[in-house]
Each structure stands twice: as C-alpha cells, then as structure tokens.
Structure 1
Amino acid sequence: MASASAPIEKKVKAASAVTYLVSLAALAILGAVTDDPSLISSMPDALEPFVLSLIPAASAAVAGWAAPHTPRSDA
C-alpha cells in the first residue's frame, strides 16, 4: 500500500475529473426529464447536481488511489 505522502497519479486525477463531468451531465439530463427535479430537498435546486456529482468522483479517486500500481524500473 502506498504511504501517506505518495503523490496522486495523473490517471487518478483525470479519472476523477471525467467521472465528475459525466455524472454532472447525467444528473442534468435526469433533472430535465423527470417531473420533480428536486433530488435533495434541503439544498437549492441549482446546487444539487454539483454536490451529487462529487460522490462518484470521490469514489473513483479513492478506488484509483488504493488500486495496486505497476512498479516501473528507473532504466
């Protein structure tokens, strides 16, 4: 397992960003298609998709960070 000071790889950052954007688009489409766009009643409607998109993005980041990485030789 990686140490706490290990940097986050670019592929993990990219996967997290893409997951966030795709989730945001999917939630926007879902909100446009359904009759009741309120997903979380305590939040403003305009803020809901942005907050809900953080959940899959965070899970992708954690899974990517925890995944075993192939060691590379310095040669």
Structure 2
Amino acid sequence: MAAPSAPIEKKVKASSALAYLASLAGLAILGAVTDDPSLISGMPDPLEPFVLALVPAAAAAIAGWAAPHTPRSGV
C-alpha cells in the first residue's frame, strides 16, 4: 500500500499563486506589445495566457514541494 502524501505547505501554495499571477501579467504585457498575440495557435486567443501561465506555477509548486524543509522541534 502506498504511503499517504505529505500536505503541501502554505509557502509553496503562495509561491505557486504568485508565480502564476506574475507570469500571467508578463504574458499579458507581451501580448499587448507584440503585433501577433497568438502564442499557441490551437487555442482560443483569450485562453492562451491563462494556460501558459500554469507552466511556471506548476514548476514552482513542484520545486517547492520537493525542496527539503527544516524540521521544526516541538510541532
């Protein structure tokens, strides 16, 4: 039987959300200043920045979850 997974810490959730919002803003600015805002031709244009912003957010979540954490005494 597989061991239960550890809960995701609040700092990892916060960093993932911030990475998502920052990349979303960056992609919105990129789309506004380029002549061709099509980033992925198979998707509807309004959906592209939201989907592409998930990539760095997922990377931040995975890295934060896999990073070693300092054990706390007395918790």
Q: TM-score range by the shorter chain?
A: over 0.9
Report the alpha carbon displacement of residue 43 of structure 1 after superposing the two structures with TM: 0.2
TM-score (norm 2): 0.93
1:12-46 per-residue CA deviation (whole Å, 9 max, x = no partner) reads: 00000000000000000000000000000000000
Other structure's SS at 2:53 match: helix
Provide the residue aligned with 1:45 in structure 2.
45
Report the alpha carbon displacement of residue 9 of structure 1 after superposing the two structures with TM: 0.2
Whole-angstrom CA distance in 1 between matches of 2:10 and 2:39: 32
Provide the residue aligned with 1:8 in structure 2.
8
Provide the residue aligned with 1:73 in structure 2.
73
Report the alpha carbon displacement of residue 5 of structure 1 after superposing the two structures with TM: 1.8
Whole-angstrom CA distance in 1 between matches of 2:27 and 2:54: 12
Structure 1 stretches of at least 4 aligned residues deviating more than 2 Å after TM superposition: none
Provide the residue aligned with 2:31 in structure 1.
31
TM-score (norm 1): 0.93
Which runs of structure 2 are paired with 1:54-73 in the superposition (5 Å)?
54-73=54-73
1:28-65 per-residue CA deviation (whole Å, 9 max, x = no partner) reads: 00000000000000000000000000000000000000
- Unaligned 5+ runs, structure 2: none
Q: Percent identity, aligned pairs only?
A: 79
Task: Give the superposed CA RMSD.
Answer: 1.2
